[in-house]
Amino acid sequence: MQINNLSEKINAYEAKIKAATSRVIDSGWLVLGPEVKRFENLFAEYLGAQYCVSLANGTDAIELSLRALGVESGDIVATVANAGMYTTTALLAIGAIPFFIDVDLTTRNTTLKEVQRALDAGVKAVVVTHLYGRATPEIKEIAQQCALHGVPLLEDCAQSHGASIGDQRTGTFGDASSFSFYPTKNLGALGDGGAVVTNRNDIAEKVARLRQYGWSSKYCVEYGGARNSRLDEIQAAILAVFLPDLDAANERRRHIAKRYSLEIKHTEITLPPIGSADYVAHLYVIQSSKRNLLQAYLKGFGISSDIHYPIPDYRQPLFKDKFAEIGLKNTERLCSEILTLPCYPEMNDSLVDQVISAVNAWEI
Ligand SMILES: *Cc1c(COP(=O)(O)O)cnc(C)c1O
């Protein structure tokens, strides 16, 4: 059993995907055309935001939105260290310096207290990642504190498409938000894709320029830190096919996650809290001090699992001992104890049953 199964999704949508791709190919307009505009409008509307500027991938979305928010080389920016190095990679591309903040052991997301610590240290911007599809519980309060300090807040929503707190979707609390449409994300294209979402007209305009060489008009380069980072028309058309079903797909993910949280019963395993609209179950991540034994055991049953993510950003070999003095307690514990179980919308009940019985029968 795989941790994900994209062919099942592609098969289910085959006719619609083919209709969308033929429409684009027949039109002869392949980059930054009407399909991109249409998807950007649909996605902004879905989130309840003013602007969506699509890009080539989610890492560019982090980098270009931070540049638009005024982050420059040498600036210090707050980020968690348990989210796979994506934000840190974007910071390194800018020449900015990460200020690593810890996460809560239960939600695996950062807290107001940790953001406050970063604000007190004088960071230039804050990035909050809604990890595994769970909206950061204190995001509203974090946004208020950042605003009070005049420090821009970027939400990384690459794993939280559609998650909401109250009636507000993640991606609409901060100054801007970044999304990835990598195929396995909750809203995934059939290739790479990303977007910046914002209610600020100035940020939307800057990102739109940064995605196309820094042009203020054709062939006139006015902005530094730019590149070519565009979503293509075919991917935009495919995303517009998947978007109307995003809430239903999230509901199915949530249902599977809820079954795991209710039916897995094991003294060596800690389960994540059952979520409601705040949790779109991008990844279902359990915790055990004997995680490696459990992973090997599941493999024996043909059940794939994975570790998202095994190395805190500040311990990546790239940094050698640059961050040797940094040790975030919860981040490190999670890195050594977490394990991701299969959870995706096309996963059928009998596969879910198999995972539950295998885990419950684990003897150590
Ligand atoms: C996938 C992901 C990204 C990066 O997106 P790409 O499209 O792969 O560049 C950024 N942040 C998080 C939390 C992600 O899961």
Tokens found for residue 226 = 């730019």
Average pLDDT of the residues of the chain: 98
Best residue among 110, 159, 196 to mutate for probing ligand 1's pocket (most ligand atoms within 8 Å of CB) is 159
What value does the mean pLDDT take over residues 200-208?
98
What value does the mean pLDDT take over residues 148-153?
98
- What residues does ligand 1 touch, defined as CB less than 6 Å away? 57-59, 83-84, 86, 129, 156, 158-159, 180, 182, 192, 194
For the chain, the residue count is: 364
CATH topology of domain 6-244: Aspartate Aminotransferase; domain 2 (3.40.640)
Confidence band for 42, pLDDT divided at 50, 70 and 90: very high
Which residue, 259, 347, 258, is CA-closest to 303?
A: 347
| 3-class state of residue 282 by DSSP | coil
Q: pLDDT tens digits for 283-337?
A: 999 999 999 999 999 999 999 999 999 999 999 999 999 999 999 999 999 999 9
What's the rounded Cα separation, in Å, for the pair 196 and 337? Answer: 32
How close is the Cα of 90 to the center of ligand 1, in Å? 10
**Residue 267 pLDDT:** 98
**How many other CB atoms are found less than 10 A from the CB of residue 178?**
33
What value does the mean pLDDT take over residues 50-73?
98
Helices within the chain (DSSP H only): 6-12, 14-27, 34-47, 58-68, 86-94, 112-120, 139-149, 201-210, 233-242, 246-263, 291-300, 329-337, 349-360
Residues of the chain with CATH 3.90.1150.10: 246-360
Residues of the chain with CATH 3.40.640.10: 6-244
**Residue 364 pLDDT:** 86
**Residue 61 pLDDT:** 98
For ligand 1, atom 10: residue with the closest CA? 86
- Kindly give the number of the ligand 1 atom that is closest to the alpha carbon of 159: 15
**Residue 158 pLDDT:** 98
**Distances, alpha carbon 249 to alpha carbons 40, 163, 181, 206, 244, in Å:** 20, 12, 15, 33, 10
How close is the Cα of 158 to the center of ligand 1, in Å? 5
The CATH architecture to which 246-360 belongs is Alpha-Beta Complex (3.90)
